[in-house]
Amino acid sequence: MLESLTRTGKRSAHKFLHARALLLCDVGPHCGERWKVAEVADALGISERTVERLKRRFVEDGLEASLGPARRTASCKIRFDGRFEARLIALACSPAPEGRSRWTMRLLAQKIVELQIATAVSPMTVCRTLKKTNCNPT
């Protein structure tokens, strides 16, 4: 099936590359010597990690799943509530740190982590939250 995918018909580049990578990783009497992951990645112009993930998906989920788009496993797990927003706004409205004329998004994010309001927060999250609440720290 993999050989027919790489030799006949029209396929997306993604499917073609993955089918070709699986063929090169194949071990059997009709396949010749098995290629190493680094050799497959180099030959196809993809990363070794992509080949490793592809092989793992093939073993765990089967052929169809490995040729299709990867399933998303991670989603945004950290959700900020109204209490976080209130503390962020209070911090943004407070005087800027010494030596600074105003708060930046990066400074606010660092201060939030420093004050243990949140374990981690990106400057973009700070920006989105302030924009959502119509708060302008300048």
List the chain domain ranges.
2-67, 82-132
In angstroms, the CA 48 to CA 93 distance is: 48
Tokens encoding 57: 């998906």
What is the structure's pLDDT at 66? 80
In sequence order, which residues have a C-beta less than 8 Å from that of residue 136 and are 6 or more positions away? 130
- pTM for the predicted model, two decimal places: 0.48
**Each residue's pLDDT expressed in tens, for the chain with a length of 138 residues:** 766 666 777 777 778 888 888 888 876 556 667 788 898 889 889 899 988 988 898 888 888 878 877 776 666 666 788 899 999 999 999 999 999 999 999 999 999 999 998 888 999 989 988 998 887 765
What is the structure's pLDDT at 35? 81
